[in-house]
Amino acid sequence: MSPETQPAILTIDDDQSVRESLANFLEDFGFEVLQAGDGEEGLEVFAAHRPDLVLVDLRMPRMDGLQVLARVRETAPEIPIMVVSGAGDIRDVVEALRRGAWDYLVKPIQDMNILLHSVQTCLDRARLLRQNREYQKSLEESLEKLHRTQKEMIHSAKMAALGDLVAGVAHEVNTPIGVCVTASSFLSERTRQLRELYEKGEMKRSDLEKYLALAEESSASVLTNLERAAELVQSFKKVAADQSSEEKRVFDLRSYLEQILVSLRPQFKRTPHTVHVDCPEGLTLDSYPGAIMQIMTNLVMNSLVHGFSDGLPGEILIKVESVGDDVALSYRDTGVGMDKEQRERIYDPFYTTKRGSGGTGLGMNIVYNLVTQTLKGSILLETAPGQGAVFLLTLPRDPDKVEAVQA
């Protein structure tokens, strides 16, 4: 069946003279012709030689043409099969075409050129079909490869991000730990000196007073810095935590948001700032409430710490709408807003404009990962200096019902 060899044609007919005239004619055009005298023999020859085309008579003893057709279609649907029938069998011809014959010819064949034309058309069509299938197969393979590569890329990007995160944590934790090491080694050196004076009986009251002041100062510094380190490790744990292990359940979004705000109320105490929720009643999600809690807490704390840093009374408005299978949640504050660099780097781990005064730069990175990975949603930021900040979140009501290209 390879293109270099002659196409082989099997002709099945109980009339030997018909078979022979077909064979003679087709052989002149370079085809190899196989013959069979009835359906059963035809199928045997077919199985043994796998011809490129079958010409079959309809009325034959033992097994008729329609049965041959059915068997060939079943075992080799890609092989063209043509019906050659007597003029009176037109109903059978229609039936044969319905069952998958590629073409038909009426016996006796008056014009052999018509036969030749049909045979060539069928062979060409079969070849095109074969090529088409091969293209399709290779297309499917490349697509499959593409999906694999994509998954690998997502995975390696995740690993790279994790690597950055680990390097960042090490770097960040290094500073407070370094301060602690310096402070405590200084303290231990001074303690040794004081003990020396004391043991020699040379310790003066002023030595002790100096020492006490120093001890107070260094232990306070050690404490602050260890707290800072612990806080960093804590945030890091949150980032690295396997968010998928978090509990998923059905909950009412409005009452849940209100509950979150209650827990954040102490943060608003003794500030002039306010917060409002505008969410339709009865809007339920089958999602991860813990993730939403973390996201809202980070957004609110950021508004308080960064947005309202100019001391003017600020407002936060959380507005929720149902959009098809998603909820659209907009979070808006009337704070100082952000410049281009802040807007572009806000989700980078360790990006903070409050380094040295409590910022870790991990909050919005956590928010981003929770929104996109745990909740399978998206987050957009609109902001400009002096214009406040608006975060637009789109969250599927059920993250499991989202089809995504995810690793």
Task: Name the nearest CA neighbour of 69 among 35, 99, 89, 93.
Answer: 99
For residue 218, state whether it binds ligand ADP (rule: CB under 6 A): no
- Residues 355-384 as x/- pattern, contact with ligand ADP by CB under 6 A: ----xxxxxxx-------------------
Cα–Cα distances in Å, from 57 out to 69, 235, 378, 405?
Answer: 10, 81, 65, 54
Output 285 or 366, the one with its CB closest to Mg ion: 366
Region class of 10: left (phi > 0), else alpha (psi between -120 and 50), else beta: beta
Longest Cα pair distance anywhere in the chain, in angstroms? 136
Cα 64 to Cα 59: distance, rounded to the nearest angstrom: 5
Cβ neighbour number for residue 136 with a 10 Å cutoff? 10
Output 84 or 364, the one with its CB closest to ligand ADP: 364
Output 66 or 367, the one with its CB closest to Mg ion: 367
Nearest residue to Mg ion by CB is 363
CB of 357 to ligand ADP, least distance (A): 9
CA-based radius of gyration for the chain: 41
For residue 168, state whether it binds ligand ADP (rule: CB under 6 A): no
Kindly state the tokens that stand for 52: 């490129």
Residue choice 96, 194, 338, 395 for contact with ligand ADP (CB under 6 A): 338
Output 218 or 302, the one with its CB closest to ligand ADP: 302
Binding residues (CB under 5 A) for Mg ion: these are 302, 363
Which among 41-49, 91-99, 223-231, 329-337 is the span making contact with ligand ADP, rule CB under 6 A? Answer: 329-337
Amino acid symbol at 398: D
Residue choice 57, 92, 103, 333 for contact with ligand ADP (CB under 6 A): 333
For the chain, the straight-line distance linking the first and the last C-alpha, in angstroms and rounded, comes to 43
CB of 335 to Mg ion, least distance (A): 13
- Residues 261-300 as x/- pattern, contact with ligand ADP by CB under 6 A: -------------------------------------x--
Query: Could you tell me whether strands 389-396 and 378-383 are parallel, antiparallel, or unpaired per DSSP bridges?
Result: antiparallel
Residue choice 51, 307, 396, 399 for contact with ligand ADP (CB under 6 A): 307
Residue choice 130, 249, 354, 401 for contact with ligand ADP (CB under 6 A): 354
Cα 180 to Cα 328: distance, rounded to the nearest angstrom: 46
Cβ atoms of 45 and 23 closer than 8 Å: no
Q: Is the C-alpha dihedral spanning 194, 196, 198, 201 positive or negative?
A: negative
In the complex, which residues of this chain contact ligand ADP (CB under 6 A)? 298, 302-303, 306-307, 333, 335-336, 338, 342, 346, 351-354, 359-365, 389
